[in-house]
Amino acid sequence: MASRKARRGGPPQDLICETIEEEELVGYLLTDDTSDRGWEEYRPWEKDTVTFVVKQNRHFSGDEDLSADTPREDNDEYYVMPVYSYVHGGVSLSLGRGYPFNCPWDSGQCGFLLLSKKEFKDRENAEENAAVFIKCWNQYSNGEIYIASVYKKDGNHLELVDSCGGYMGSEYALEELKSMMKSVTESRYPLITNIIAEHQAKAAIVPAAQAPDSPAGNAKTSASAG
C-alpha cells in the first residue's frame, strides 16, 4: 500500500501533540517551544496572595527562601500547607505524600505554600486553590505550553487560517482548539448555518393541523375528498 504523502504547508511534525481532522479543516495542538513568557504571566495568583516558600536547591526556586521566620502552621495571616517535590528527570510538586512523592531517594518536603486569609474564606477553599496553584506550576515547569492552529485543506496542501499560542495544560488547549475550529467553520459558511437553523426552527413549530399524518390533517383531507 502506498504511504500517504505529507501535506505541504503544515506545522513541523515534531511539534504536533494532537490532531483533529474534519472534512475541510485540520486542527493541530503544538508544543510551544518559542514561548518566552515567564512564570509570572501564568501563575494564577499574585505572590502576596499565594506565596511559594522553598528550601534553597539547585533544581528550582520559589517566591521566597525558607527561613526560621517562615510559618509552619496556620496563623492569623495565612493558611499554611507543606509542599513536596519529586525530582527525577524533571520536577513535580504535590501537596501530599502519595507515590512517587514518598520515594526516599528522589522526593521530600521542599517548602510551604502560604495562602492569604484575606483572599480565601476558609481552609477548605484554600486547599482547593492550593491544588490549582500546584497543578499550574507543574504544567509550566514541565513545558506544557501549547499552540492551537487551524488549517484549511486544499488537496495535499494546508493553508493556515487561525493560530494562537500560550495555552497552559493540554486539556485546556485542546478545548480551545475545538472552539477555534468551530468558529472558523461558522465564519466560512454563515449562510448555510443560518439556513439550517431556520429550517430546524420552522420544522419544530409546524401546527398539528397542518401535519399530514395528524388526526386533524387526515380529517381535513377526508372532508375535502367528500
Compute the distance between CA of residue 188 and CA of residue 15 in angstroms, rounded to an integer.
27
Beta-carbon count within 10 A of 160 CB:
13
Asked, for residue 170, whether it belongs to a domain, the answer is no
In a domain, 139, yes or no: no
pLDDT band, very low/low/confident/very high, at 105 (cuts 50, 70, 90)? confident
Is 137 inside any structural domain? no
- 78 lies in a domain? yes
Q: What is the mean pLDDT of residues 98-117?
A: 87
- What pLDDT sits at residue 223? 40
pLDDT, tens digit (0-9, with 9 covering 90-100), for 116-137 = 999 998 999 999 999 999 999 9
Domain housing 113: 46-118
- The reported pLDDT for the residue numbered 156 is 84
Stretch 191-211: mean pLDDT: 56
DSSP conformational letter for 208: G
Place 191 in a pLDDT band, splitting at 50, 70 and 90. very low
Q: Rounded to whole angstroms, how far apart are CA atoms 38 and 61? A: 13
pLDDT of residue 216: 43
Say if residues 167 and 182 touch (Cβ distance below 8 Å): no
Q: What are phi and psi of 151, to 5 degrees?
A: -120, 150
Q: Which residue has the cell 504535590?
A: 94
Rounded to an integer, the average pLDDT of 44-63 is 91
4 inside domain: no
Q: Does residue 101 carry a pLDDT above 90?
A: no
**Residue of 168, 98, 175, 97 lying closest to 136 (CA atoms):** 168
Residue 74: the pLDDT is 96
| pLDDT, position 5 | 47
pLDDT score for 52: 96
**Higher-confidence position of 224 and 83:** 83
Please give the model's pTM, rounded to 2 decimal places: 0.71
Flag whether 133 is in a domain.
Answer: no
Domain count, the chain: 1
Task: Flag whether 186 is in a domain.
Answer: no
Would 105 be classed as within a structural domain?
yes
